Amino acid sequence: MSEGRTELSQLGEFGLIDKIKKNIKLQNPETIFGIGDDAAVVSMDEKNLMLISTDMMVEGIHFDLSYMPIKHLGFKAVATNVSDIAAMNGFPKQITVSLALSNRFSLEAIEELYEGIKTACETYKIDLIGGDTTASMKGLIISITILGVSLPEKIVKRSTAQKGDIVCVTGDLGAAYVGLQILRREKEVYKSNPEMQPELEGKDYIIGRQLKPNARMDIIHDFAELNIIPTSMIDISDGLASELMHICTQSGVGVQIYEDKLPLDNRTLETISELNMSSTVCMLNGGEDYELLFTIKQSDYEKIKNNPEICTIGFITEKEKGLHLVSQNQQLVPLKAQGWVHF
């Protein structure tokens, strides 16, 4: 071990990934590409490609079972992995699920967890093919690896956006983050007075977005039907600003998005007002919406303009112009990626 000590918090998750990536040399011709996108790509034969992605969720870091029903956790753990396959324009096929659990968990709790996993497998038409189960020293850790398929000409990476492309997002933004704020508030209320009834009326939508997010496979099917291949794509797990940063950095481009075009659901807005938060900050930096952020060629605009689930929010510029939000009062605001900081 070398003498110095560098804290992981100094690097952050992306810095650590960069460090790891730098040391890797690929040896097998079947490995098309590795670290650096939503999923890795491996060749199956001349025609088909396999997509592989993996996610680890740690109790106390990614979820809190005091307000997260364990069945929903099972669903969400699968859905977030499916979302990574969707973000490559692929179709999910199989998952493995590994669990580390403390003796706090009963068989019944684990069966509930697998109920949620099973529901997700049915929803997204995937097979649970393996896993590992072990004791943990503390809490629950879920590690899921997902396999999907696509064709070489259909795979969409983060690194291929081009100047002039239109930037699109699916669904609406910020709801999962705002839902989390409400769940945390109610937990605090409950802790100070367990007799109090939680105030969750009218919060179904935003809480549902946090507890049981949906991977946008419907959009991937739309792309196939509409004969669209996005020029780049990523799923929104860390927040719009952070994901835009990934696309722009990896594609070597800039971007301009418009504040008044960002999609916000009225139910999200209502709670944002109630909590005195900024809707733009929630949409830019609130994570876990698992919507898709993608770019298309201008010539494809006609194909998507009437799709109620797709919203155009800006366009790709040359790199030198940087990453900006055009605010409602026409000011250019530089975009900063906040993302999740675990360490």
Scanning residues 82 to 111, which ones bind a second copy (CB under 8 A)?
93-94, 96, 98-101, 103, 105-111
SS3 257: strand
**With binding defined as CB under 8 A, does residue 136 bind a second copy?**
yes
Nearer to a second copy, 101 or 253 (CB): 101
Residue from 18, 66, 138, 184 in contact with a second copy (CB under 8 A): 138
Helix (H) / strand (E) containing 191: helix 175-192
Contact flags string 25-64 toward a second copy, x per CB under 8 A: -xxx-xx-xxx---xx-x-xx-xx-x-xxxxxxxxxxx--
Count of beta carbons in the 10 Å neighbourhood of residue 315: 17
Residues 6+ apart with CB under 8 A from 16: 8
Contact flags string 189-228 toward a second copy, x per CB under 8 A: ----------------------------------------
What one-character-per-residue DSSP string does 192-210 give?
H-TTSPP--TT-HHHHHHH
Residue from 65, 68, 128, 226 in contact with a second copy (CB under 8 A): 128
Contact flags string 146-185 toward a second copy, x per CB under 8 A: -x-x------------------------------------
Residue 336 corresponds to which tokens in the numbers above? 């900063």
What is the rounded CA–CA span in Å between residue 208 and residue 254? 34
CA dihedral 240, 245, 250, 253 (to 10 degrees): 110
For the packed helices 107-124 and 70-86, what is the interaxial angle rounded to 10 degrees? 30
Nearer to a second copy, 118 or 319 (CB): 118
Distance of closest approach, residue 31 Cβ to a second copy, in angstroms:
4
Residues 6+ apart with CB under 8 A from 208: 179
Burial class of residue 65 (count of CB atoms within 10 Å of its CB; 0-12, 13-18, 19+) = middle
Piece of the chain touching a second copy by CB under 8 A; list 112-120, 309-317, 318-326, 327-335: 112-120
Piece of the chain touching a second copy by CB under 8 A; list 23-31, 180-188, 217-225, 270-278: 23-31
**With binding defined as CB under 8 A, does residue 24 bind a second copy?**
yes
Residue from 64, 68, 119, 143 in contact with a second copy (CB under 8 A): 143
Cα three-residue angle 270-273-278, rounded to 5 degrees: 120
Distance of closest approach, residue 24 Cβ to a second copy, in angstroms:
5
Distance of closest approach, residue 43 Cβ to a second copy, in angstroms:
9
Distance of closest approach, residue 2 Cβ to a second copy, in angstroms:
5
For the packed helices 175-192 and 204-211, what is the interaxial angle rounded to 10 degrees? 100
What is the rounded CA–CA span in Å between residue 142 and residue 135? 12
Looking from the CA of 1 toward its CB, the CA atoms found within 13 Å total 4
Distance of closest approach, residue 267 Cβ to a second copy, in angstroms:
28
Distance of closest approach, residue 235 Cβ to a second copy, in angstroms:
14
Q: How many residues bind a second copy (CB under 8 A)?
A: 87
What is the rounded CA–CA span in Å between residue 155 and residue 186? 42
What is the rounded CA–CA span in Å between residue 89 and residue 194? 46
Distance of closest approach, residue 302 Cβ to a second copy, in angstroms:
34
**With binding defined as CB under 8 A, does residue 243 bind a second copy?**
no
Nearer to a second copy, 78 or 310 (CB): 78
Residue identified by tokens 């945390």 is 184
Nearer to a second copy, 5 or 320 (CB): 5
What is the length of the chain?
343
Piece of the chain touching a second copy by CB under 8 A; list 3-11, 199-207, 208-216, 248-256: 3-11
